[in-house]
Amino acid sequence: MHPHLSFDQAPPISVPYRFFLVAPWFGVMAGILLAWSGGDALASRWTPEALALTHLIAVGFMLQAMCGALLQFIPVAVGANVWRPKLVANIVQPLLLLATLLLVGGLLFSRPGMFTVAVPLFLLALGGFVVVVALALWRTPATSMSLWALRLAIGGLAITVLLGSLLAEALARGFSVPILELTDVHLAWGLGGWGLMLLAGVSYQVVPMFQLTRPYPPWLTRWFAPLMLLMLLAWSAQIFIDPVRWLPLIALCLLSMLSAYAASTLWLQYTRRRKIHDATSLYFRVAMLSMLAFVVSGAVFLLFPDLGADPRFAVWLGVLAFAGVFVSAISGMMYKIMPFLNWLHLQLLNPPLSAMPNMNRMIPADAMTGQLRLHVLAVVLLLAAVWQPGLTRLAGTAFAVSCAWLGWNLVGAVRRYRTFKDQIRAAALHC
Amino acid sequence: MTTLIDGRGREPPEPMVLTLEALDTLAEGDELLLLLYCQPHPLFSILRNNGYAWNEDVRADGTREIRIRKKPG
């Protein structure tokens, strides 16, 4: 199509795909675990099943997908070159996979000894990942607000991993640390400093680009990341100061920031000139509505502490954050990124115009929207199961099937990429 | 002569495809004006490697005006 033009910034397609293809199957494992456990698995955030489920989603699903997305995103969106992305992916992804299984096994079967193997693997995999990505993000000449959010996100990942490693080592070796406070701070950095910071930084670019909205308001992109950093630092003071009287105030500020980001995204979708209702847009809507539900629930928790005293309330917040916000946003993102990457890498083969497939043929629209509906049903069932334990097995099954369907759709995108690649090569031979 | 491509209401990869097609016929001294809501780093890389110069302005509504020309010689 454009034989004289060279594309040199896209990493090999296998780099993001090896992360993307694995992520949904951790969601399947989480669903199966929940269906198998049933009953009181969601009675509190501290049950072995709840801890294992949290890490299957946070480290298995989210972290796998986010690492793959970041390796792909930063060269394309902020012009930063990652050092040998294929080598990094080949080392980080399997180490991460193994470390996650060991961590989850240790949490589920209450075998802290497994943490002593998992922790060095996490430190090796994610330490290397953080260094390579941070170097790329600091060397790029780009100056966008996305870039600052990504820089802070990679710092948030480093802090999350260090705190998690400290907690795991404390449990494995029995040394004394303030477990409850450290866990709350670890969770805040994982969800806010890494997950949300990355989601926001990526959204500034991909929401206008793929969902055809206006850009995010400059006040939001300028202040969201630094304010989030400040709030998380203040939140972390609880490790050192006891008691911290202003923690509820920090929590309210954090909730206000979440509502600003979620409401802005929904407003941008609502006011766009060209309405598209593809799976990515709908998934983002589900994620942002879940975030607003999290904000309202969190505010109730803070303003009426008696209502929030039930340990199931924290699980309710966890389901909204992990399944409602992050699994939704990540699934929607993968449904847009994979067809686009297929198209981009087929373009690199310089195909004749007649052989170049349309991006919309990479994953059938019906399969994506069908899977999206099942995911929404699974999230609703999970939320209901928090208060009605009899629904736990059904909710787990629905979530497992939904994630398996997501995984199948992504595998289908890879199959179609290979088919189109063969067709293009065959067409080139006949030219 | 200036050719305008308004990529703001178009789904990727359409703005990129239209831009690459327009570059094929861009004469020396002519200009291609691309309007987007984001910074197209992959396009910048292609332009850098293929002998094009560009400059970029941001309007108050967040629209990025990217003006592309062939480098002389």
Whether A4 is covered by a domain: the verdict is: no
Q: Using alpha carbons, select from A301, A305, A303 the residue that is nearest to residue A316.
A: A301
Chain A interface includes B22 (CB < 8 A): no
Q: Name every chain B residue with its beta carbon within 8 A of the beta carbon of A276.
A: 11
Tell me the pLDDT tens digit for each residue of A95-147. Answer: 999 999 999 999 999 999 999 999 999 999 999 999 999 999 999 887 788 99
Give the single-character DSSP code of A2. Answer: -
- 3-state class (DSSP) for residue B32: strand
Q: Which of A77, A213, A274 sits opposite B41 (nearest CB)?
A: A77
User: Do the domain assignments include residue A398?
Assistant: yes
What torsion, rounded to 10 degrees, do the Cα atoms A367, A370, A372, A375 define? -120
B42 part of contact set with chain A, CB < 8 Å? yes
Q: Please tell me the predicted confidence (pLDDT) of residue A9.
A: 64
pLDDT confidence tier of residue A5, bands split at 50, 70 and 90: very low
CATH number of domain containing A265: 1.20.210.10
Query: Does residue A161 lie within any of the structural domains?
Result: yes
What is chain A's mean pLDDT, rounded? 93
Model confidence at B38: pLDDT above 50: yes
Asked if A208's CB is within 8 angstroms of B41's CB, the reply is no
Q: Output the pLDDT for position B55.
A: 93
Q: When comparing pLDDT for A185 and A344, which is higher?
A: A185
The total number of structural domains in chain A stands at 1
Q: Check if B51 contacts A (Cβ < 8 Å).
A: no
pLDDT digits (tens, 9 = 90+) for A6-38: 455 678 999 999 999 999 999 999 999 999 999
Is A137 part of a structural domain of the chain?
A: yes
- With contacts defined as CB-CB under 8 Å, which chain B residues touch A75? 41
pLDDT of residue A3: 39
pLDDT at B11: 84
By C-alpha distance, the chain B residue nearest A1 is B21
Please tell me the distance in Å from A131's CA to the nearest CA on chain B.
23
Domain range for A130 is 14-422
Q: What is the pLDDT of residues A369-381, one digit of tens each?
A: 999 999 999 999 9
In a domain, A395, yes or no: yes
> pLDDT-derived band of residue A167, with 50, 70 and 90 as boundaries?
very high
Pairwise CB contact (< 8 Å): A273 & B9: yes
Report the residue from A79, A144, A359 with minimal CB separation from B13: A359
pLDDT tens per residue, range A303-342:
888 877 899 999 999 999 999 999 999 999 999 999 989 9
Asked if the structure places residue A147 within a domain, the reply is yes
Question: Residue A384: pLDDT above 80?
Answer: yes
Kindly report whether the peptide bond that precedes residue B13 is cis, defined as omega within 30 degrees of 0: yes
Interface contact B57, partner A, CB < 8 A: no
* B10 min Cα distance to partner chain A (Å): 7
What are the chain B neighbours of A210 within 8 Å (beta carbons)?
A: 11-12
Average pLDDT over residues A352-357: 69
**Would A336 be classed as within a structural domain?**
yes
pLDDT of residue A97: 98
Which residues, in sequence order, are bridge partners of residue B68? Answer: B32, B54
Asked if the structure places residue A406 within a domain, the reply is yes
Query: Does B11 lie at the interface with A, CB-CB under 8 angstroms?
Result: yes
Q: What is the mean pLDDT of residues A402-418?
A: 97
Please state the rounded mean pLDDT for residues B22-46: 89
Instruction: Tally C-beta pairs within 8 A across A and B.
Output: 70
Structure tokens at A136: 């790329």
Q: What is the pLDDT of residue A275?
A: 81
